[in-house]
A and B are shown apart, each in its own frame.
Chain A
């Protein structure tokens, strides 16, 4: 019998602050975001590996602060009329000279107006490729909230959330089984949930430890 075709449709994610699981690896970062009215110079860089929930956290911050997600094209308008905003994946904004200059003026304008600015990135500003020295020093001096790679408790919580986001029913032993066997990273969690979803859909089998074992073996076999 041929495997049923599964489509990699975008999954509707729960993005509220209440959907955010607090563990020691992200507790300080969350507390810093929650204290946004007292950010030094009204700005903050939220740092975390891919899939750690930066955008999730930024969305929930947008709800309490009224901030908007800005694109590079929005910067001139924001420089002229500063308003609370989020620059998701800020290094993307700094790719050329013009972008760096725009960001530099934005930082100055936002600070003078007292408007809060949240920047997200995978690494600290000191590591970004920024040539404009004035911008570089401002970014490096900005306070950071760092979300570490997940500890086991967070790994379990993220797994649970991702299964719920995909509306998958799983057997209870699956999560502890996975926590002990997958890499301790957000990337790995997202990958394994997607693989399991596809495997379950293709075969109609229950999402449990046995299927998970096969999925992990298959991946190890295809890894270089």
Chain B
């Protein structure tokens, strides 16, 4: 019965969800059973389950009902064979999963964009550079008498503007559920406005935005050059300020510095309180990392990270908190993947693209120079015919390093060592590989040279 119904439902679904979606998402589903109003499906991966549930629930339920197998809820479980993870880790899914759930919960027609559950006042690390902005945001989040309107937050990329705005929204939703709070980015404001224009819904649009109690618009610099949207934004803004409703704006620069924004709008934007978030200092960055590590304790149980790694990151990644936090997240992801403690060496390895200014490749000539300097010999002897051991051994080491650190072929390396044969290079590589195990001094020298060349 279920099988026949599912077959029928699948045929209908091909048209309702479209061929592509059908092939990717519906056809791998297997209907296991229907009972108690719940349809149980087996899916290849947990993501597929989440995705189908979020995007195709209605169509699925509808198709099942039409096929005579009514259910009011869907349940997805991962097929046994597919759960064999490629690499076993002791970590639970990262917090990102929680956001996805929050995003899914957000109703489509709500004017407010979804909020990141992680961005609360509790998780905001306060330091000298952001103290003022933090205090102003907290004040606004009390939802009491409007003292400064608008609150204009600005600062460079990744310094916490969005975090503070989400935190205000979270706080208000707890303390003042009676208030209608709308948070969205400037481009979302624009998309909605353009859609309203197209669908002849400008009246609803105006009503919607002018009936809110707290309006937050993020990244207002994206309105640059978009004149009609700016105009609409300006009217909304004025209407709300006139009604004494709180408006909070953020941008990546001060109101006066905004380009392609009309002067009258820019001047209105600075009529309230303008606060900037300064670039972070070392202490603040370290504080941010420590807070993040505390949060990760639960998600990545048993994964250790040294304090020296945090100090290193806080010291080296100075420009941007987003990149700083991203680096830490990458280290956790990598550590849990390979099941290793996150040491300084591992961090340097894993983050080489951020830490180093360029991908410069080591050349054979640089290797020859470095090795001859290290052993106090002339560069010309590197490529010359001398066979004395004090010269031949460093030459072999240089050949070995050339094989390891460059992508040159053996014949090519031979040519660059005074036209030697590729078998000579091969012999050198083999010889050094053996010596490395027996001679710890040589192994140390090699490691030091390699580090120096790659730095």
Question: What's the nearest-Cβ distance from chain B to residue A38, in Å?
Answer: 6
Determine the distance from Cα of A28 to Cα of B86 in the docked complex, in whole angstroms: 11
**A143 in contact with B407 given A31-B337, A68-B20 (CB within 8 Å):** no
- A66 at interface by CB-CB < 8 Å: yes
- B312 at interface by CB-CB < 8 Å: no
- A181 at interface by CB-CB < 8 Å: yes
User: Is B353 touching A126 in the complex (CB atoms < 8 A)?
Assistant: yes
- A92 at interface by CB-CB < 8 Å: no
Given the complex, which residues of A lie within 8 Å of B97, measured CB to CB? 114
User: Is A181 touching B353 in the complex (CB atoms < 8 A)?
Assistant: no
Q: Which residue of A lies closest to B408 (CB)?
A: A183
B74-116 interface code vs A (CB 8 A; 1 in, 0 out): 0000000000011101010110110111011000000001100
Question: What's the nearest-Cβ distance from chain A to residue B170, in Å?
Answer: 16
Given the complex, which residues of B lie within 8 Å of A4, measured CB to CB? none
B window 333-351: CB within 8 A of A: 333-334, 337-338
- A55 at interface by CB-CB < 8 Å: no
Determine the distance from Cα of A101 to Cα of B100 in the docked complex, in whole angstroms: 23
User: Is B252 touching A38 in the complex (CB atoms < 8 A)?
Assistant: no
Partner of B87, one of A35, A40, A41, A116: A35
Determine the distance from Cα of A137 to Cα of B409 in the docked complex, in whole angstroms: 38
**A141 in contact with B86 given A37-B47, A42-B96, A64-B44 (CB within 8 Å):** no
User: Is A114 touching B104 in the complex (CB atoms < 8 A)?
Assistant: yes
Given the complex, which residues of A lie within 8 Å of B409, measured CB to CB? 180-184, 188
Given the complex, which residues of B lie within 8 Å of A105, measured CB to CB? 187
Given the complex, which residues of B lie within 8 Å of A115, measured CB to CB? 51
- B13 at interface by CB-CB < 8 Å: no
**A35 in contact with B45 given A127-B359, A133-B157 (CB within 8 Å):** no
For chain A, give the interface size range.
35 or more
User: Is B330 touching A143 in the complex (CB atoms < 8 A)?
Assistant: yes
Given the complex, which residues of A lie within 8 Å of B89, measured CB to CB? 35
Determine the distance from Cα of A39 to Cα of B86 in the docked complex, in whole angstroms: 14
B window 389-409: CB within 8 A of A: 406-409
Given the complex, which residues of A lie within 8 Å of B330, measured CB to CB? 40, 143-144
Dominant SS at the B interface?
helix
User: Is B87 touching A34 in the complex (CB atoms < 8 A)?
Assistant: yes
A23-48 interface code vs B (CB 8 A; 1 in, 0 out): 00000101110111111111000010
Determine the distance from Cα of A125 to Cα of B354 in the docked complex, in whole angstroms: 9
**A184 in contact with B407 given A68-B20, A112-B103, A137-B158 (CB within 8 Å):** yes
Partner of A137, one of B113, B157, B187: B157
User: Is A181 touching B422 in the complex (CB atoms < 8 A)?
Assistant: yes
- B380 at interface by CB-CB < 8 Å: no
User: Is A114 touching B157 in the complex (CB atoms < 8 A)?
Assistant: no
User: Is B94 touching A134 in the complex (CB atoms < 8 A)?
Assistant: no
Q: Which residue of A lies closest to B46 (CB)?
A: A37
- B295 at interface by CB-CB < 8 Å: no
- B16 at interface by CB-CB < 8 Å: no
Q: Which residue of B lies closest to A184 (CB)?
A: B407
- A140 at interface by CB-CB < 8 Å: yes
- B440 at interface by CB-CB < 8 Å: no
User: Is B87 touching A38 in the complex (CB atoms < 8 A)?
Assistant: no
User: Is B411 touching A181 in the complex (CB atoms < 8 A)?
Assistant: yes
Given the complex, which residues of A lie within 8 Å of B327, measured CB to CB? 141
Given the complex, which residues of B lie within 8 Å of A42, measured CB to CB? 96, 100
User: Is B358 touching A134 in the complex (CB atoms < 8 A)?
Assistant: no
Number of B residues, CB within 8 Å of A: 61
Partner of A114, one of B24, B44, B96: B96
Given the complex, which residues of B lie within 8 Å of A127, measured CB to CB? 353, 358-359
Determine the distance from Cα of A160 to Cα of B400 in the docked complex, in whole angstroms: 26
Question: What's the nearest-Cβ distance from chain B to residue A199, in Å?
Answer: 18
Determine the distance from Cα of A136 to Cα of B252 in the docked complex, in whole angstroms: 14
Partner of A113, one of B85, B100, B358, B410: B100
Determine the distance from Cα of A99 to Cα of B406 in the docked complex, in whole angstroms: 35
Given the complex, which residues of B lie within 8 Å of A36, measured CB to CB? 47
**A38 in contact with B410 given A28-B337, A140-B326, A142-B326 (CB within 8 Å):** no
Partner of B323, one of A30, A141, A184, A216: A141
Given the complex, which residues of B lie within 8 Å of A114, measured CB to CB? 50, 54, 96-97, 99-101, 103-104
User: Is B326 touching A133 in the complex (CB atoms < 8 A)?
Assistant: no
Determine the distance from Cα of A136 to Cα of B320 in the docked complex, in whole angstroms: 10
Determine the distance from Cα of A149 to Cα of B20 in the docked complex, in whole angstroms: 36
Given the complex, which residues of A lie within 8 Å of B100, measured CB to CB? 42, 113-114
User: Is B45 touching A37 in the complex (CB atoms < 8 A)?
Assistant: yes
Given the complex, which residues of A lie within 8 Å of B410, measured CB to CB? 180-181
- A124 at interface by CB-CB < 8 Å: yes
User: Is A137 touching B24 in the complex (CB atoms < 8 A)?
Assistant: no
Question: What's the nearest-Cβ distance from chain A to residue B359, in Å?
Answer: 6
Question: What's the nearest-Cβ distance from chain B to residue A10, in Å?
Answer: 25
Determine the distance from Cα of A180 to Cα of B426 in the docked complex, in whole angstroms: 8
The 5 A-B residue pairs with the shortest CB-CB distance, nearest first, are: A141-B326, A114-B100, A124-B353, A66-B24, A34-B86
**Other 16 A-B pairs with CB < 8 A, given A125-B353, A140-B326:** A28-B337, A36-B47, A40-B329, A41-B329, A65-B47, A114-B96, A124-B354, A126-B353, A127-B358, A136-B157, A140-B322, A140-B354, A141-B329, A144-B330, A183-B409, A185-B407
A-B contacts, 25 of them at CB < 8 A, read A28-B334, A31-B337, A32-B334, A32-B337, A35-B86, A36-B47, A37-B45, A37-B93, A40-B94, A40-B326, A65-B45, A66-B51, A112-B114, A113-B100, A114-B99, A116-B47, A123-B359, A137-B320, A140-B320, A140-B323, A141-B320, A141-B326, A141-B327, A143-B326, A181-B411
Chain B interface residues toward A at CB < 8 A: 20, 24-25, 44-48, 50-51, 54-55, 85-87, 89, 91, 93-94, 96-97, 99-101, 103-104, 113-114, 156-158, 185, 187, 219, 222, 252, 320, 322-323, 325-327, 329-330, 333-334, 337-338, 353-354, 358-359, 406-412, 422, 426
